[in-house]
Structure 1
Amino acid sequence: MAQIVAAGAVLWREADGDVEIAVVHRQRYDDWSLPKGKLDEGETVPACAVREIHEETGYACVLGRFLRTVSYVHRGSSKDVHYYSAEAVSGAFVANDEVDELRWVSVASAPALLTYPDDRSVVAEFARLPADLSIVLLVRHAKAGKRSEWSGDDDLRPLSDAGWRQAAALQALLPLWSPTRVHAAPRVRCVSTVSGLAADLGVDVVLEARMSEEGFWPDEDAGLVRLLEIAADEGRVVVSSQGGVIPAVVSALADMGGLRLGEVPCKKGSAWVLAFTRPFGTWSTSDSPSRWPTLVSAHYIASPLPRP
């Protein structure tokens, strides 16, 4: 059976202190659905979601947390549609070949308008958490060759040719979440993985000793608190770290937030999209842990490279 991969989103905006989401009418099928579409050749799933949103609704958007994957059989092919939360940041709807009407509706009223149960399940997942969450993009550094084949100081081990390709792909992928800050463990390979992104954003890479293997393991709690401090700061953030740190950090934060993740993969050049509740008011590490940012969603992107 042929495999079709598609992506879409629950597109949302604030309206009078509440949240509205976009539901579109497709004239070809005479149905009401969430905006979505198939991947183009050489396109990543997140990039497809952003492109399809713009093509069908006219809105530019910023991705948030991953919601869920819907799978079904369509015209003899197996189809997987990956859905994100996405905030509308600019644009306006204009009728087009695919969509002839768009309605902004409350989250509560959307299920009655949507034609398909799968779309209603995606909206239900969106409604489970606040729309506006803090996002940390936790990245493992790109490929840097084998440690055994590098004779110099391991802190200075550079990216390989394959690693630079991964770094370039991350430079294109991560802006879909609109980060404004870039942090990295003080290793050449960690900094190089995100230096292109930092240059594009016009910011410096902030070095984070606690996000290195040597800095994290002597005091794991201090490392976790440091990541929570980073998450609580203003603006979304990219943090480049090491394979000996990321699984432990994600697992511990998931346990603290009551998430069940099971195995925590961490390939070189991969990224975890971590979504946190925002702390109330001004936050500091002296506060009760109940007021700290809480991890409520974690989604793994195995590779930043486009699909072949």
Structure 2
Amino acid sequence: MPSQTVLAAGGVVWRQTDEGIRVLAVCRKKYRDLSFAKGKLDPGETFAEAAVREILEETGIAGVLGAPLGAVKYRLPSGRKKHVAYWAVKATKAAIAASKFSPNHEISEIAWLTLDEAREGLSYPADVDILNRFEQLVAAEGLDTYPVVFLRHAKAGAAPTDSQRPLTETGQEQARAAVGPLRAFGVRRVFASTALRCQQTAEPIAQAIGQEVHAEEAISQAAWERGEDDPTTIIASRVQKAKPVVLCSHGPVIPALMEALAAETGTGSSRELREASSLSTGSFTVAHVRRGGQIVAIETHSPLDERRPPK
């Protein structure tokens, strides 16, 4: 009897032309249908990683994840349930030029479509639902965004001094597990509290993208406890630069960082933002910020938990 839900991920790949927005659809040879690029998660893979990988495999486009479009759920002909998470994914001119797509046994063709053409041509209601959400994002001017990622340090052990607490084996595993999904969101800079547990959490992603970890005492728990923390300055700097960034800090400090981001972008405080800044160890929240504007979407991930198969 069908049991476990099939997990998958994909995206609405888009580009801006002189005639307007175009979205990329794939024609699957086996099913003779038209849909957005997507595919099943590999064992131990997160949704974010799978979305980027499947888009590359099916279209040849190497992209990073923009704002989330949510998930759709439906039943397969076998009776099993399927859960597919989607994101908006910008196709840059460089990525399009570098694409080596050619018709293959799975995808016979890819097609750039207007939104109206996509609505008429998509084969499944679930894809039309995702298109509707994409159009809502377009209307909200939520396509041109950059991610500000708040990462809580991974699980730490004991030490005579709090700032010198090292990661446990589980913490090291959490830090490594975060690398793939953080890369999927295209982070380019890494900042972390001066506490050892934050530095060790941030080091794997920094190494993966060829960057150094920028140590920031102003976002440490020690500074927060002394009343000397300064989330406003670092957030103002990152918003001014408008580049993808990850900030690794502590449970009590991350809500202040989120509040500073909301204030700096004119978003205003909300329950959703407060809840998204309450993170378990090794988890992160992505705030998708419109260039020159407000936060348009937020999402939270626990990479190690996502990698483990459901019991």
Q: State whether TM-score is above 0.5.
A: yes
* 1:194-205 to 2 correspondences below 5 Å: 194-205=202-213
- Return the match for 1:163 from 143, 168, 171: 171
Aligned residues: CA RMSD: 2.5
- Return the match for 2:21 from 19, 27, 30: 19
Could you tell me how far 1:248 is from its partner in structure 2? Answer: 4.8
Alignment partner of 1:299 is 2:302: no
Identity %: 35
Indicate if the aligned counterparts of 2:231 and 2:256 stay in contact, CA closer than 8 A: no
**Structure 2 residue aligned with 1:115:** 123
Alignment partners' CA distance in 1, 2:259 and 2:35: 35
Following TM superposition, the consecutive aligned residue runs of length 4 or more in structure 1 with deviations greater than 6 angstroms are none
**Structure 2 residue aligned with 1:288:** none
Alignment partner of 1:274 is 2:287: yes
- Return the match for 1:139 from 121, 143, 151: 151
- Return the match for 2:84 from 76, 81, 99: 81
Question: Which range is displaced more, 251-260 or 99-108?
Answer: 251-260
**Structure 1 residue aligned with 2:107:** 99
Could you tell me how far 1:71 is from its partner in structure 2? Answer: 0.9
Alignment partner of 1:211 is 2:219: yes
> Given residue 271 of structure 1, which amino acid in structure 2 is its aligned partner?
F
Indicate if the aligned counterparts of 2:24 and 2:111 stay in contact, CA closer than 8 A: yes
Local SS of the residue matching 2:282: coil
Deviations 1:5-37 (A, max 9, x none): 110111123333843210112232222111111
CA 1:215–1:120 in structure 2 vs 1: closer, same or farther (change >3 Å)? farther
**Structure 2 residue aligned with 1:246:** 254
Indicate if the aligned counterparts of 2:67 and 2:87 stay in contact, CA closer than 8 A: yes
How many equivalent pairs are there? Answer: 290
Alignment partners' CA distance in 1, 2:245 and 2:285: 12
Indicate if the aligned counterparts of 1:2 and 1:76 stay in contact, CA closer than 8 A: no
* 1:163-242 to 2 correspondences below 5 Å: 163-216=171-224, 218=227, 223-224=231-232, 226-242=234-250
Indicate if the aligned counterparts of 1:134 and 1:232 stay in contact, CA closer than 8 A: no
> Given residue 36 of structure 2, which amino acid in structure 1 is its aligned partner?
L
Question: Which range is displaced more, 262-271 or 72-81?
Answer: 262-271
> Given residue 294 of structure 2, which amino acid in structure 1 is its aligned partner?
T
Indicate if the aligned counterparts of 1:232 and 1:278 stay in contact, CA closer than 8 A: no
Alignment partners' CA distance in 1, 2:14 and 2:57: 16
Deviations 1:234-271 (A, max 9, x none): 42111111111224544675696366627334111111
Could you tell me how far 1:190 is from its partner in structure 2? Answer: 0.7
Alignment partners' CA distance in 2, 1:157 and 1:192: 10
Alignment partner of 1:46 is 2:77: no
Question: Which range is displaced more, 84-93 or 295-304?
Answer: 84-93
Question: Which range is displaced more, 121-130 or 61-70?
Answer: 121-130
> Given residue 257 of structure 1, which amino acid in structure 2 is its aligned partner?
T
Local SS of the residue matching 1:112: helix
* 1:5-16 to 2 correspondences below 5 Å: 5-16=7-18
Alignment partners' CA distance in 2, 1:92 and 1:16: 24
Local SS of the residue matching 1:163: helix
Could you tell me how far 1:197 is from its partner in structure 2? Answer: 2.1
Alignment partners' CA distance in 1, 2:29 and 2:45: 26
Alignment partners' CA distance in 2, 1:73 and 1:219: 53
Indicate if the aligned counterparts of 1:44 and 1:307 stay in contact, CA closer than 8 A: no
Alignment partners' CA distance in 2, 1:142 and 1:31: 43
Could you tell me how far 1:46 is from its partner in structure 2? Answer: 1.2
Local SS of the residue matching 1:268: coil
- Return the match for 2:160 from 152, 157, 171: 152
**Structure 2 residue aligned with 1:284:** none
Alignment partner of 1:257 is 2:287: no
Could you tell me how far 1:143 is from its partner in structure 2? Answer: 0.9
TM-score (norm 1): 0.84
Deviations 1:107-139 (A, max 9, x none): 354222212232122123223243220111211
Alignment partner of 1:63 is 2:73: no
Alignment partners' CA distance in 1, 2:197 and 2:115: 43
Gapped regions of structure 2 (runs ≥ 5): none
